[in-house]
Amino acid sequence: MSKKNVADALHIFYELNAAFSDAYWETNDINQKDRFFAMKSILQDELDELHKLSLQDHVYPYEPINPSLLLLSDKLRTLLPELNNYVFRPQTSSRFVDLIPSACELFES
């Protein structure tokens, strides 16, 4: 498998960020709202750092910039098996099922 570049990471992170927003608004459980908001915040910090890169840098292999991104990786790995307990809308659940493995792959060295 080839290493993902910055452009690939941005695409995955934009989609994951949107899924976090959907999950946040779709749940009525305040604890799950907090969970999705925390994950979205960690991801947004990484996106903010990636936005500082020039367009020419998007072809380089992606490496996590923000150390707290490893926390997000752990949170995503625990969310995936429990997904049906917290995400009820099929479209949002399906997006997470597609995106979580791709995002976790980005975190691996």
At 65-98, the pLDDT tens digits run: 888 888 898 899 999 999 999 899 999 999 999 9
Phi, psi of 61 (to 5 degrees): -60, 140
Nearest to 39 by CA among 26, 67, 19, 20: 20
Residue 57 has a CB neighbour count (10 Å cut-off) of 12
Domain boundaries, the chain: 6-53+62-107
| pTM to 2 decimal places | 0.89
Nearest to 107 by CA among 7, 4, 27: 4
Q: Which pLDDT tens digit goes with each residue over 17-63?
A: 999 999 999 999 999 999 999 999 999 999 998 988 888 888 888 88
Helices 6-26, 90-107: axis angle to 10 degrees equals 140
**DSSP-assigned letter for residue 3:** P
**DSSP-assigned letter for residue 69:** H
Q: Provide the H-helix boundaries in the chain.
A: 6-26, 30-50, 69-86, 90-107
